[in-house]
């Protein structure tokens, strides 16, 4: 299983050499806020919302002093906007009061912040601080179970199993590759098995569409000509940037 898992990772690295977080951010604070907003919505929707949010509140101090109703209006498109406003106000106040207005770069500090769980902390550590982290979101959990790396449903247990299979240096990129694959090919309801480059390594081949022609039609994003989720993608990203809110 371990050998096969590592081969899957190598294969994914070839398919998605440009895998990256799909949230737009310019600093750790923006990534932390964007990750909190990404609960129960798409990264695209978050990316369409954060430019106005960070224009209004560029720092934790600014955000902590926000008028809640004004912030709710800005983040309304991401859903659960009242709860998310509450989280962001608490989070930015804690950054201001306990961490000198800076996002801390340690897991044990990050998870103390209101509304920040292990998944969010690992996203921030891996992508804003270069500290290896495995991010177990819904895509990651689904795919590693399809690949029989584990049967665990609990994200913390999944993280521990996967951490035992791969060296730390692979953790962050592995997380991006798996999520890319989950979003683009190995979908929750209809995986495009017939168009999947890792089909020969996958114990769940056949769970989705195996006819190559029909499977290709299920592909999304750059493979089907659709944009990725970022409005400001990294320079090596082969897809088109996503449209701004209201533009399409
Ligand atoms: S073969 Fe099917 S189930 Fe397996 S990774 Fe590919 S799309 Fe997912």
Per-residue pLDDT of 61-81, as tens digits, reads 999 999 999 999 999 999 999
196 lines ligand 1 (CB under 6 A): yes
Residue 25 phi/psi, 5-degree rounding, is -160, 155
Distance between Cα 234 and ligand 1 center (Å): 27
pLDDT at 132: 92
DSSP 3-state of 42: coil
Taking the mean position of all CA atoms in its chain, how far away is CA 193? 23
Q: Can you tell me the distance from the alpha carbon of 126 to that of 64, in angstroms, rounded to the nearest whole number?
A: 25
Predicted TM-score (pTM) of the model is 0.85
Q: Which of 144, 142, 108 is nearest to 125 (CA)?
A: 108
Residue 63 phi/psi, 5-degree rounding, is -70, -40
204 lines ligand 1 (CB under 6 A): yes
Best residue among 202, 203, 223 to mutate for probing ligand 1's pocket (most ligand atoms within 8 Å of CB) is 202
Name residue, tokens 């035992």.
164
Confidence band, pLDDT 50/70/90 cuts, at residue 244: low
pLDDT at 17: 84
195 lines ligand 1 (CB under 6 A): no
Catalytic: 98?
no
Q: Can you tell me the distance from the alpha carbon of 61 to that of 120, in angstroms, rounded to the nearest whole number?
A: 21
Q: Can you tell me the distance from the alpha carbon of 147 to that of 140, in angstroms, rounded to the nearest whole number?
A: 11
Q: In Å, what is the CA distance from 24 to each residue of 20, 21, 36, 98, 133? A: 10, 8, 13, 26, 19
More confident of the two residues 213 and 244: 213
pLDDT single digits (tens) 11-31: 999 988 888 888 999 999 999
Q: Which of 31, 40, 80, 39 is nearest to 60 (CA)?
A: 31
Confidence band, pLDDT 50/70/90 cuts, at residue 119: confident
Best residue among 183, 190, 193 to mutate for probing ligand 1's pocket (most ligand atoms within 8 Å of CB) is 193
Quickly list DSSP for 37-61.
HTTTS-HHHHHHHHHHHHHH--SHH
Confidence band, pLDDT 50/70/90 cuts, at residue 225: very low
Q: In Å, what is the CA distance from 136 to each residue of 75, 111, 122, 186, 237? A: 25, 15, 9, 16, 23
Residue 186: how many CB atoms within 10 A of its CB?
A: 24
- Is residue 161 marked as binding? no
pLDDT at 221: 63
Q: Which one is catalytic: 86, 137, 214, 220?
A: 137
Q: Can you tell me the distance from the alpha carbon of 217 to that of 205, in angstroms, rounded to the nearest whole number?
A: 17
208 lines ligand 1 (CB under 6 A): yes
Catalytic: 119?
yes
pLDDT single digits (tens) 153-208: 999 999 999 999 999 999 999 999 999 899 889 999 999 999 999 999 999 999 99
Q: Which domains does the chain have, with CATH numbers?
A: 2-19+134-224 (1.10.1670.10), 28-128 (1.10.340.30)
């Amino acid at each position: 299983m371990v050998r096969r898992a590592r081969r899957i990772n190598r294969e994914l690295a070839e398919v998605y050499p440009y895998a990256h977080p799909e949230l737009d951010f310019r600093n750790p604070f923006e990534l932390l806020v964007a990750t909190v907003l990404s609960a129960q919505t798409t990264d695209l929707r978050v990316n369409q919302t954060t430019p106005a949010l960070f224009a209004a509140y560029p720092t934790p101090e600014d955000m902590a002093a926000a008028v809640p109703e004004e912030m709710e209006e800005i983040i309304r498109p991401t859903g659960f906007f009242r709860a998310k406003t509450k989280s962001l106000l608490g989070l930015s106040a804690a950054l201001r009061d306990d961490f000198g207005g800076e996002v801390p770069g340690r897991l044990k500090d990050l998870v103390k912040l209101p509304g920040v769980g292990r998944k969010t902390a690992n996203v921030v550590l891996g992508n804003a601080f270069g500290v290896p982290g495995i991010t177990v979101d819904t895509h990651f959990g689904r795919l590693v179970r399809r690949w029989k790396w584990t049967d665990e449903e609990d994200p913390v247990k999944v993280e521990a199993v996967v951490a035992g299979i791969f060296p730390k240096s692979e953790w962050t990129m592995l997380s991006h590759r798996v999520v890319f694959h989950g979003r683009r090919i190995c979908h929750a309801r209809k995986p495009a098995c017939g168009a999947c480059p890792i089909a020969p390594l996958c114990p769940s081949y056949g769970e989705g569409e195996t006819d190559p022609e029909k499977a290709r039609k299920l592909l999304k994003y750059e493979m089907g000509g659709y944009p990725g989720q970022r409005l400001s993608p990294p320079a090596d990203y082969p897809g088109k940037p996503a449209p701004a809110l209201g533009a399409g």
